[in-house]
Amino acid sequence: MKKRIVLVFGCLFLMNAFTYAQRIGKLEYLPTFDKHRLHWGFYLGLNKKALKIDYKLPNTFVDVKDDMGFNVGLIGDFRIFNNLNLRLEPGISHNVKTLYFTNILTARDSVREVSSTYLHLPLLLKFSADRINNFRPYLLAGLSYDFNFSSNQDNSEDNSQRVFRMKKNNLMYELGFGIDLYFFYFKFSPSIRGVFAINNELVRDVDPNSQWTAPIDYLGTRGVFINFSFE
């Protein structure tokens, strides 16, 4: 539900940005900006990262409460063609999730908090429409690598000692859309994208019959990012 609220908020923001762009008029700012082969920028943003969980056993359910997180990073943009760019957007993202294991009755054992800070390295293709005055919509698609600084993968303790472990190295795919808005000194680009884990991020407990990890077949990040880029 919260991810839907974030998505609606992002869509409304993009709609307002489009309306603003239409009001700017026909005077074009930064008319040669997109002709540069290479340019740089940075971004700030918010995220809602939940977890997709598939189960081995029936009637098993983990309820995930995900708090709002943040993203910050740099942008390197290489123009391939007039409407196609290759982008590298290295950054840091942080998010806190609380897992409630409904198959476990004791309160102490049924809750695990997972605070994760990631080095996020997406390599994206940006497909842009033709520019209209100071407005240019685009689509994004690509792969990203996440290094989880908060991973407990190498920790000898597991859930029996109240430590929920996730993998350090993860591969994602990303899909999104946004708008380029051209101003006198810079280009501002709000965007919304979905981030989806490819590999299983779960590190299983030592006990093969663990009540925390044995019922889980797959656990991977699913998230919505709203980024505000300045280039």
Q: What tens digit of pLDDT does each residue of 196-217 get?
A: 999 999 999 999 999 999 999 9
Domains of the chain and any CATH numbers: 2-230 (2.40.160.20)
Cα–Cα distance for residue pair 225/54, rounded to 1 Å: 23
Q: Is the dihedral of CA 9, 129, 175, 87 positive or negative?
A: negative
Cα–Cα distance for residue pair 11/19, rounded to 1 Å: 12
Give me the phi and psi of 6, to 5 degrees please.
-60, -40
Give me the phi and psi of 194, to 5 degrees please.
-100, 140
Instruction: Identify the band that residue 103 occupies on the pLDDT scale cut at 50, 70 and 90.
Output: confident
Instruction: Identify the band that residue 17 occupies on the pLDDT scale cut at 50, 70 and 90.
Output: low
Q: What is the pTM of this model?
A: 0.83
Cα–Cα distance for residue pair 66/126, rounded to 1 Å: 29
Q: Which amino acid is at 3?
A: K
Which of 182, 155, 178 minimizes the C-alpha distance to 166? 155
Residue 4: per-residue pLDDT: 54
- Classified as helix, coil or strand, 15 is helix
- Classified as helix, coil or strand, 36 is coil
Cα–Cα distance for residue pair 81/200, rounded to 1 Å: 36
What would the DSSP string read from start to end of 110-174? HEEEEEEEEEEEEEEEEEEPPPBTTEEEEEEEEEEEEEETT--TT-S--GGGT---B-SEEEEEE
Averaged pLDDT for residues 120-140? 95
Averaged pLDDT for residues 1-13? 52
Burial class (CB in 10 A: 0-12, 13-18, 19+), 133: middle
Instruction: Identify the band that residue 69 occupies on the pLDDT scale cut at 50, 70 and 90.
Output: very high
Residue 26: per-residue pLDDT: 65
Residue 18: per-residue pLDDT: 54
